[in-house]
Structure 1
Amino acid sequence: VEDAVPLPRVSLVWHSVAQGDKDEAALDMLGSVLSAGRGSRLQSNLIYDKQLAQFVGAGNGSRSIAGTFSVTSAARLTKSLDEIEKEINVEIERIKNAPPSADEVARALNQIESGTIFGLQTVLGKAEALNRNATFFGKPDMFQQQLDEYRRVTPADIQRVAKTYLTANRLVMNYVPRKGGAAPGRNAAANKPTSVSNQEKKKVEPDMSKLPKPGANPKFTLPPIEKMKLSNGLDVWVVRQGELPLVSMNLVLKSGGTFEPADKSGVSSMTAALLDDGTKTRSALDIANGLQAIGASMGAGSSWDSASVSLSTTTKNFDQALDIYADVIVNPIFPEKELENVRKSALTGFVQRRLNPNAIADVVYDRVLYGATHPYGRQLSGTETTITALKRSDLVSFYEASYRPNNATLVVVGDVDGKTLLPKLEKAFAGWKSGTISGGELPSYAPLEKAGIYLVDRPDAAQSVISIGQVGVDRSNPDFFPLQVMNSILGGQFISRVNLNLREDKGYTYGARSGFTFRRGAGPFSASADVQTAVTKQSVAEFLKEINGIRGTVPVTTKELEYNKQSIIRRFPASFETVGQISGQLSNLIVYNLSDSYFNEYIQKVNAVTLADVNRVANKYLTPDKMAIVIVGDKKVIETGLKELEYPIVYLDTEGNPVQ
């Protein structure tokens, strides 16, 4: 099938079993053995050994009356789907001919067990699990029974279900990029707005009288933060949360994209990506299998303002998990082979990005607002040129300059005790030494002097991607809370002004939104949507009408103010339900130098926002006459209408460079 996909993709699908079937657990574990984690059979073969696939996944999906088992994979550049399908068949036949090892089964079981426990942290997670079991099995509290079913699965059971269900009777679907990369042709009816005329519309006010009255504002108090410091200078924050036997650790480093040289753009992300791909004593496979064997997970990443290394584990396996976690942080070696594999994946990602209109809009929007020399005008992923040129020594240099204990804080949340924890951390991080930290200064940027349209041509595009806005404010801005409320009214939720206008009233889009990105330096503000090509001009006009409206032409009402404040307030406690959420939220205190009382005062500060505050920040920070209007769409269809808006039009390529 030819489709608008950036990479060739194959899906193999078999009939499996209904929920509650005696073979459901074995099929779930078969999916895990085949594709869960680096040490799984398909990932090891297709991604790491033969480097054929960009990704591969396998799994069982049981439903109320039937189910399917599927394997899906996308090819890397120059690799074929025939090669991938051949290797998938090899691995399926291999597991049919010989059962998985005891270690493979143990890894699959421990992943399922820990996943079940982690899934019960939130109110919604508990409710969904109880409801699912009550609906399908008539027994809400059968969690232990379900885990016991997985524990009874043997290697022979996994081999048996592979033989029974993964037969020649299957569906194989190949999806390949459409020739020329063009979108499917549009017919006239498909390219008309789905709205109806104002004469046909009858506005019906909802009857709110029968809704239950809201209770008082929730009271939120974060558990106390116990602060300690290791002998090597590493700050440690501990928050005890003992509802479930879980622990989350998050190492937060004041590093990130703003600390990398311009000619090595992407080095911060590549350093994080390769951090767990080998240490002085462990290979990448050792690390992956070691974590899987205890149901733990680890990840590293880089943002503009920080880098982080996270770990999630059950309490019973904490000591083993900490040993691997600390080794990855203290002793990474960035193997050349792993660098080349990650590089190939990144270069394939750039091809995908050029074919994704939303990704193109993001790249061009940042470039227009900040220019090519400012860090925020670049992408965290780097460019093809910089990623191709990166050497192992570049990653080592960036690591040594940023990954230091005196530049980091370790946040530990969960079923732990600070006094017991401290000596374990001292031992685990004993070999990590402090160092000199520098860099991260943000240069100035030149704001736009007037509004203009920046058009990227995407021939035959079925939709236009629109991003409108300007440089906003930094995270330390004292107007943070009024801006949150103002943006919620403008485009921060489903019943916001821009979404009610462009989606519900006009039918131009499936969703319109706005938002401020808060960073250490002033991040971007944008109002955006994917709209039907035929109404690109009208959509731009409606966006600008709403931005001008919140500045005063359509004054914010008391009803709007109170509704949006309540929306923010009542959602807030749910962002602290899990141990991972708490450790993630605490990282904001570290990166942006916020007070320990910040979260305890959050609801009070939102509630204190007034109409005058909203009006003031809307007029101060939203200046439509100096906003960039970035559009990725079909130039031959939309250009004439855009010219009618009487803004200057600048034509750009997919990287934000001017074109003639």
Structure 2
Amino acid sequence: MRLVSRVLASVALTALATSALAQTAAQTTAPAPAPVSELIARVDIPYEEFTLPNGLRVLVHTDRKAPVVGVSVWYDVGSKHEPKGKTGFAHLFEHLMFNGSENAPGDYFEPLRTLGATDLNGTTNSDRTNYFETVPTAGLERVLFLESDRMGYLLGAVTQENLDNQRGVVQNEKRQGDNQPYGLFRYKLTEGLFPAGHPYHHSTIGSMADLQAASLEDVKTWFRSYYGPNNAIVALAGDIDVPTAKRLMAKYFGAIPRGPESVAPPAPVPTLPAPVRETMQDRVATTRIYRLWAVPGLRDPETANLDVAARVLGGLSSSRLDNILVRKERLAVGVAAFSQALTQVGFFGVQMDVRPGVDVAQAEARLDAVIADFLRTGPTADEVQRVATTAIAGRLAGLEAVGGGGGKAGTLASGALFADDPLYFKKQLARLAAATPAAVKASANKWLSRPVYALKIEPGKREAYQEATPATAGGAKVAAAAQATTAARAEAAPTPAAAQGPAKIDRGALPAIGEVRDIRFPKVERTRLSNGIELVYARQAAAPTTQASISFDAGIVADPAAKLGIAGFTMAVVDEGTTTLDSIALAEAQERLGARIGSGNDADRSGLSLFVPSPNLAAAVALLGDVVRNPAFGASEIERVRGQRMAQIAAELNDPGAIAARTLPPLLYAEGSSYRKLAAGSGDLSTVKAATRDDLVAFHRAWIRPDKAKIFVVSDRRLAEVQAAFEAALGDWRAQGPAGTKAIESKPLAGGERIVLVDRPDSPQSIIAGGQLTDLDPKAELLPVLTANEVLGSGFLSRINMDLREAKGWSYGARGGYSRFEGAVPYVINAPVQADKTGPALASLREQVAGFLSTQGVTDVEFRRTIDGETRELAGNFETSGKVLSAMEGNDLFGRPDDYYDGIAQKYRALTAAQLDAAARATIDPKGFVWVVVGDASKVRSQLDSLGLPVEVISAAPTGAPVAAQ
């Protein structure tokens, strides 16, 4: 997202691959990509299935690579089941099911944190609601108790207080999404394609009016109607076998009675009677154009053809839209095409962000012409093949995890629920592989020649936001009038007949957690290429994939002080063509291998990354080597990326979170401090506009060079084969000219506690970002202070989040944490809150921080929960190659030994609550914060004035520099 024969661990063979991929004069050929059939054979999840007498379907996959089990529970209920007047109910109930059940009262996250759950969440869409967590094998019984208790014994714990609170949380989740640029598109998408009354017409998040009108009896009836075991699927994947699963599932789920059967509402694929064109305005920097059609759902045979069509048109890196509109004609700074298959219907979309300065009408016409040409000619055989290869590679990556949203358990459950086939994903991949150009062309013409819904979102003033009424905003009690309205709507469009829930029973105490073994982090080995580049390697054999990164000692701090953004600009162009492969050929070469080469730039490092199915390792590393060593920095690519970077910077100046991130650094760091450069975000607009090819070449020569490089690799292949591939690609690379140097300084800016309000009119939510620079040494052992912050600011159960989200319902989520840079450790709090609670929310944050750092330190319960959770979650934390790779890089950056995580459990157990309190109090000053608030000054200024702190109001200038408001 290959090889005919397996790649040999041979330097000579890899060198031949390098030569061929670089298109040199050598008369050899690179190893051919592995055939699609071989890759599909590697994508498998062997499973067994059984059904309990109450109708609960159970799927079991055994994977002993780690002592963890992925648990995934899927219910056949989504927003398509919601009648008029009850939009958002499925999602609202997803939240309520995290608030405890009759035999496990209290927050659901509490007992799961103690047992060390990872990848823990719940989601809702049009078709289903699911819950998932990955837990240590020793904690499986506890999680099955919890999941079964909320399936069968929930309603006694659903109170008006819980409903009011979670209503406020969901409303703030809605505000948070709506507050983003283009955030209102999700409503236009469904409302524009599906007529009123169609099950897919409304969004999953629902309307403010329906959410505030939900009564306690409404939501209880909703639960009784849909959450019975016969409407659910439980998938268990990992360190589990079928006999154990049968015993535990019967023990915990067997007594739950059946409920009403969920019935899918009629949902035909609609066709618009005529083309529809709409224009809306939003606080955006770039005009965005959409072309949208309703298409068949997941089970329709034509869905695979439409998926291929979308990827060829705008999904591949070398897609038609990318090549024509972005690379060649530069009418757009970004394009995409997507085919989203829901269970009963789907939608096909094309999206274009018009390059600023381009005539929008001209760009629209050209977009339509490219779509029309695709419908006329169809895809080529090579394009279809590249789609299949990248799709299979992407699936290989996703199936490394046993749990989470897209791992093995969830994949089995989704296939069973949507298609009555747990291995339906294999059929989907097989259909992609079997697609022909003629079949794809026929399906595309059949569905995309119908009337189109055309939407244009252009810069301008957004229409007035539809807020919740004051009676219920933030979790207040439901008004009597709203209750009456709900009753009337329910009478007009009742939910399915509801069964009576089981009588309250005492199921006993939560099951004990068995012994959780301390993990052994994968063995890390170090070697060097012949030119001295160090290669840091770990073997993970669970998936036939390789992930690698080449990290360079550069980053944002390496930007010249007068040219902020050069590092990011350089890294954005470096993988856009080599001296022998232009950007299109380079993209196509990756797609044929199922490889992904990416570039990045953060505070302290610049780098390139690689993912590839391991059968294609040698060829992909050769390609990566060409990118690193021989970037073309072609004039056309520089100009294209320049336009994209400038559009990205303009977008940041309209995004509330990015505005806060740009505003805070100059308030924390003194003039001359290295990390003050972070205020430029993706770059200074004038720098990016004026940058020359010589600037990029100079940065590459000074910083992207072998003496500043370190290679990190996690692979199922042995070190010898990995080293041979990188030796062939990079072993003879030599640095040219003097190396860049950077002096990292991070002096704090004095000024005292104060508030800087960035005025962003018409914001339904405010972003509160508070920061201070600590005196911590980034390379010291920070375990005590980081562990203390688990109680204050990190994670769901932190005091900051539990106060603003779970107690008050003013935020969808709030956190505080340490940003650990190579030369500085700032502490930053981030809290998006509803606009009318901005002042009280900031007051609550200050109160929580001050209390924790004075008289209200870590409690015994918090201490035990944190230590148990941190030690027990280690196996889940390092289950996948990507997580291991990230840990290896972090250990190296901060000077920790490669086996650091082997002994971390013992370090946790040696801590005391008093140590945590002392560490936090020695680090954070409750009066040392600078608070940045991004919101509507006309609504929040008076709230902030009441806090007794100095308040400065600024606005963001077009360049991003703060300007004092008049």
Is the Cα contact below 8 Å between 1:186 and 1:462 reproduced in 2? no
* Displacement after TM superposition at 1:438 (Å): 4.4
Deviation per CA, 1:160-212, whole angstroms, max 9, x where unpaired?
11111112323222222333xx6726779359842449xxxxxxxxx996433
2:585 aligned with 1:297: no
| Residue of 338, 355, 364 corresponding to 2:637 | 338
Aligned residue runs from structure 1 range 458-537, under 5 A: 458-472=760-774, 476-478=778-780, 480-537=782-839
* Displacement after TM superposition at 1:9 (Å): 2.0
2:469 aligned with 1:189: yes
2:515 aligned with 1:213: no
* Displacement after TM superposition at 1:153 (Å): 0.7
Is the Cα contact below 8 Å between 1:485 and 1:561 reproduced in 2? no
Q: Which residue of 2 aligns with 1:121?
A: 400
Q: Which residue of 2 aligns with 1:147?
A: 429
Aligned residue runs from structure 1 range 319-334, under 5 A: 319-334=618-633
Deviation per CA, 1:443-499, whole angstroms, max 9, x where unpaired?
241343421111222234322221122013556354521222222211212222112
Identity %: 29
* Displacement after TM superposition at 1:103 (Å): 1.4
Alpha-carbon distance in structure 2 between the residues aligned to 1:493 and 1:538: 22
Q: Which residue of 1 aligns with 2:350?
A: 71
SS of the aligned residue for 1:428 comes to helix
Alpha-carbon distance in structure 2 between the residues aligned to 1:371 and 1:190: 43
Q: Which residue of 2 aligns with 1:252?
A: 551
The change in CA–CA distance for 1:559 and 1:208 in structure 2 (over 3 A counts) is farther
Deviation per CA, 1:255-295, whole angstroms, max 9, x where unpaired?
21112211121111111111111222111111111001111
* Displacement after TM superposition at 1:642 (Å): 2.1
| Residue of 414, 417, 432 corresponding to 1:132 | 414
The change in CA–CA distance for 1:565 and 1:191 in structure 2 (over 3 A counts) is farther
Higher Cα radius of gyration: 2
Alpha-carbon distance in structure 2 between the residues aligned to 1:209 and 1:532: 40
Alpha-carbon distance in structure 1 between the residues aligned to 2:718 and 2:929: 51
* Displacement after TM superposition at 1:142 (Å): 4.8
Deviation per CA, 1:49-90, whole angstroms, max 9, x where unpaired?
222223221121112222221112222213355334323322
2:382 aligned with 1:103: yes
Alpha-carbon distance in structure 2 between the residues aligned to 1:385 and 1:506: 43
The change in CA–CA distance for 1:617 and 1:145 in structure 2 (over 3 A counts) is same
- Specify every segment of 5 or more residues in structure 1 that has no aligned partner in the other structure, as ranges: 198-206
SS of the aligned residue for 1:411 comes to strand
SS of the aligned residue for 1:286 comes to helix
Alpha-carbon distance in structure 1 between the residues aligned to 2:942 and 2:692: 47
Q: Which residue of 2 aligns with 1:543?
A: 845
One-letter code aligned to 1:70: G
2:734 aligned with 1:433: yes
* Displacement after TM superposition at 1:19 (Å): 1.6
One-letter code aligned to 2:530: S
* Displacement after TM superposition at 1:329 (Å): 0.8
Is the Cα contact below 8 Å between 2:675 and 2:746 reproduced in 1? no
Q: Which residue of 1 aligns with 2:721?
A: 420
One-letter code aligned to 1:499: N
SS of the aligned residue for 2:451 comes to coil
Q: Which residue of 2 aligns with 1:355?
A: 654
Q: Which residue of 1 aligns with 2:372?
A: 93
The change in CA–CA distance for 1:50 and 1:474 in structure 2 (over 3 A counts) is farther
2:460 aligned with 1:178: yes
Alpha-carbon distance in structure 2 between the residues aligned to 1:196 and 1:467: 26
Q: Which residue of 2 aligns with 1:204?
A: none
Q: Which residue of 2 aligns with 1:656?
A: 962
2:870 aligned with 1:568: yes
Aligned residue runs from structure 1 range 222-261, under 5 A: 222-261=521-560
Q: Which residue of 2 aligns with 1:203?
A: none
SS of the aligned residue for 1:61 comes to strand
Alpha-carbon distance in structure 1 between the residues aligned to 2:459 and 2:546: 44
* Displacement after TM superposition at 1:296 (Å): 0.7
Alpha-carbon distance in structure 2 between the residues aligned to 1:11 and 1:557: 53
Deviation per CA, 1:210-248, whole angstroms, max 9, x where unpaired?
433333344211222222111111111222222222111
Deviation per CA, 1:513-549, whole angstroms, max 9, x where unpaired?
1111001111321122122222222111100000011
* Displacement after TM superposition at 1:601 (Å): 2.1
Q: Which residue of 2 aligns with 1:600?
A: 902
Aligned residue runs from structure 1 range 46-85, under 5 A: 46-85=325-364
Alpha-carbon distance in structure 2 between the residues aligned to 1:191 and 1:334: 59
Is the Cα contact below 8 Å between 2:318 and 2:587 reproduced in 1? yes
The change in CA–CA distance for 1:372 and 1:208 in structure 2 (over 3 A counts) is farther
One-letter code aligned to 1:69: F
Alpha-carbon distance in structure 1 between the residues aligned to 2:417 and 2:854: 51
The change in CA–CA distance for 1:127 and 1:652 in structure 2 (over 3 A counts) is same
* Displacement after TM superposition at 1:653 (Å): 3.2
2:924 aligned with 1:622: yes
Tell me the matched-pair count.
649
Q: Which residue of 1 aligns with 2:699?
A: 398
| Residue of 309, 315, 330 corresponding to 1:36 | 315
The more displaced of 628-637 and 74-83 is 74-83
The change in CA–CA distance for 1:420 and 1:537 in structure 2 (over 3 A counts) is closer
Deviation per CA, 1:319-363, whole angstroms, max 9, x where unpaired?
221221111111112112211111111111222122222211111
Task: Give the TM-score, by structure 2 length.
Answer: 0.64
Task: Give the TM-score, by structure 1 length.
Answer: 0.93
The change in CA–CA distance for 1:460 and 1:152 in structure 2 (over 3 A counts) is closer
Alignment root-mean-square deviation, CA: 2.3
Q: Which residue of 2 aligns with 1:202?
A: none
Q: Which residue of 1 aligns with 2:582?
A: 283
Q: Which residue of 1 aligns with 2:884?
A: 582
Alpha-carbon distance in structure 1 between the residues aligned to 2:855 and 2:418: 53
Alpha-carbon distance in structure 2 between the residues aligned to 1:319 and 1:185: 54
SS of the aligned residue for 1:147 comes to helix
The change in CA–CA distance for 1:602 and 1:434 in structure 2 (over 3 A counts) is farther
One-letter code aligned to 1:194: G
Is the Cα contact below 8 Å between 2:281 and 2:463 reproduced in 1? no
One-letter code aligned to 2:541: G
One-letter code aligned to 2:444: A
Aligned residue runs from structure 1 range 379-398, under 5 A: 379=678, 380-398=681-699
Q: Which residue of 1 aligns with 2:613?
A: 314
